[in-house]
Structure 1
């Protein structure tokens, strides 16, 4: 057991001694190398360890050291310690960014650190020693050596050439035991920073001199070191006197003499309180009511250098604005309370910020509770008593609490449990808040319901009227067709001989019957259009043949009235997709009106041309024209105006024309001037691609 304890070297030997003994034993066991060591124990004593190989065995002898050997051991320990310290010190200096070097009494470089090697552009320290590469110039070295002879210490800022650039360095040197140790610290960045600081301070002074707020700076001795122009203008002090750097107390005394300080019962006590900022790091803040009525907000703050900076902010205008603002707020509140609509404004944190009396009345909530600024959730809980739709309240809450930049307004209406109707609108405000308004529309809702019921009754009556007219017109068409047929039979040779008078009567019957048949057809077409049952064909319409045919039919009537009929078709016009029969019907009725309202000897012109994606037809006359106040009504049903002409009708022509044009997704314009004529222009899509969709949409309507 004692042998095992002995072999645990780390328990009874110094750490370094235990490591040395272990290494020596490894050499002895491995290679048979003998050793003699002096070991330091953990208790501070010393032992001599002797290791030898004897045959196949290794022998370790430990002897206590005494006498001369003990002195030798102490010297060896001190040597090891000094060696470690030198090694550590040099390792540390090699890591520093400061050039360090040592010279012997002959002036030769004996040791340099890595920063020195880099500074003289050498590869290694050996190169520095071999070539004796100096960092300082000869004159600088002479100055350093001369200074060391007298004071044995040197400290000076010198410009050193390093890396091709001359930079300022603080050079320190000491001489001990005829060995010179020196170091050079790069202070170029420090000088740059100091220069920059000086420039910033100058810029700050210039800036403060331009600001409108009075500023004064006093040194730690209490004397004025800086003031801007606003400070001088505030107190109206003599610039020459301020240039003498008076003390803070002297300035206060001068202002007291000039009656520019606030009125106070004890000036001395007040002055001591003001000057106490030099002894306290706390910021002094005070309000000075000057004799001329101005109000100053005075802030005195101690600077790191012990001086004090005063800022005098004239808040007279701001206080006046605050009073005006408070007055406006009061006016706003009175205005809101006079509104019939309930108003509630929520802040960005979702809490009620503002409300009016109408809001309390509409929702029957307690004013005291609302004045506490409850959150939107609490407000909704109180309002749910009269309206429990969670979806509406949730949507309204999202407008109030949403954090997105693009909040959208939310509007709607509520039918409450008490039978009342409330219209509401939640509107985001520019400051991030939300305005919610509630309007009690119970009375108007009752009127609206009555109007809706009346309108539905009128619509039903109109439908019955249309159905009745359509039914009657259809029933009239059959006997009327028979009358026309029998009338034509009588006029034919098969009907026998007729007198001239009889033939005239039969001609009048035929003309009147066909006119009546045309009116009935128009009524049936309008009824079909209203019912959405009018089918449109989808076919190519050749324009020139159609216009020639229409002009040929109308030419007989026009020539009887001495009216000139002219047709002008552009060269690039060919065909378009539409219902040809309905297009003929449209143009025929417009042409019939143009001839009917023309003076004898007048002119009617039919024109056709292409526009972008459209075909345009224009029929113009120089007849009686239409007054401006009547032009809007000519498209209404059963509205007829003879305008002094012999043309009469049921007032359905232009009405059915407009309906047919709109079914084709076209447009129609009328330009007229009394005694100068009328121009009607209709435009249709060339490709007719909307015809099917038009019919379906109208049918659904």
Structure 2
């Protein structure tokens, strides 16, 4: 290239180079700026990443974890939250937090969704407690609408706190509170149900609480009325009111008890009132009715006075010593027996001094060593059992001494003068010898046996009747040995068991029994067991062989009489039937004559025929009564079994006799109603029996008289009473005699119905017939 060209090219290339240099410089500057900006952004991103990482770590370490719930139900949250909800990983939707084996219970998941929807629609804050997995695991959830910069579109931000420890503590505290509440209610119920008045005063002495017993005691309507009106139960005692006493108890912080009289329902009763300070809160109080206790004290004092007055009336001497071995009481016989001063016992006196006084009066047994004797008897105070001694005094008096140690360490001594008893014992021996001589001469054999079966007393006749050896009886054998010895004399050895039963009935069962046994030699003995007042039993044996023979003869004669009576009954029955046939014919012919079959009769003839018919009717009734009576006595009368209403039956019977009652000028009073009920029986035969009694009452009553009939149900059955005045006054039994066969037939008919008839007439002629039907 030539120089011009080179120069031209150089001229052209310099601007381009400059431009390129400028472009390179600009690019370099831009690259540097870009590098600067990029490094700055990189540092900022690094700082943001570190901040986000730190924030994420802070959220992970936070006790509350976020859970974002979008409008479509999708959720976003840290994986740590999945473990809190009991899931292996975070689900995509809120309902995925529920599951049959893990996660939330279905009902809690649905409640959470409803709460989220409510927050989304109303922007109301959300707060609830969830229990994923079990009741021991608790999550506290607090929610609100999410910031639009975080999640637009109505999302809800939930913050979840692990409240398991707090829930356990809350549950424990709740249980403790519930227990304390129950204890409080139980205590309040106990106080309210307490049968004694109870109250509580505040620090100022004003009533704040009273129970029902307090309200009832003061006669108020309610506890509020008592508290509002400051109604006091306890009156002022010795010038101190109840609030003042409570103030003293509160200031001293010590309980105060006192006795006070309180008026309840108009009665003055003694109460023991207690005021108990309850710290600085106030004073509690209660009142216990001690009127019964005071009454017991009064009764005890009266009883002790009466007891001592009674002891003064005893014939035995009584001395009472206290636990300090001092004499505190003697009765009058004690002072008289030992010639003690009249005022002894009013002041305490040692027992040793009492023995000295007795010895000075010569009222103790003569002993060689009196101090040793006294010390020995002082040991009675500590004895474990009752001491019983016999004292022979120098003047011939014989005393029985009984010493009874008391539980409180004291001693009661009883002195019984047995001098007369010894004299009586001597007389008793004489009486026993007399008794034995009397027994030996009795007509009956006799033995006395104790309840244990041992022979106590016997006479010679008993030994002779049973061929018993005197040596055997002298050993007082048992009943078993005695029966073995008596067995050979019996015709039947098995009769020993009958004798044993008689003895046991007399000794153990305390009952009198008897029996008969046949002996091998043909004799018959009547046995009788009799309980004796001393607890023993007496067995007697009497030879009744001759009376047995007489009894057999009487029995044969009685059988013959029974057979004769049966023949009489059969004869009467046959006779009644034989009488009935011609009587029926007579009545039939008389009836034909009255109706004019044989022609018209005169008036006198009509009267004769009417008299014949009346007589035949009465005779027919008497024959029927005889027949029924004989059948009833023989037990052959047929009776129907039906339910019979008594009131209609009796009313009908009385109505049938209405004309007869009016013709007799009588007043008939029938009392009763359907409450008398019914009986099982034959209505016709019962009507005949009751009608016979009514007919007898009508026939035996004086004109213008009164007949009272009463029908009522009683415990033993139905009672029918017919009472009237007998016209034949002063002659007892006339009413029954005039009744003919009516009364015996009525009795037989009633007894055939398992009833009874009681017929009585007093001295004034008032007759009462009482029928009782079961």
Please, what TM-score do these two structures have when normalized by structure 1?
0.50
Higher RCO structure (Cα 8 Å, ≥6 apart): 1
Whichever of the two has the greater Rg, that structure is 2
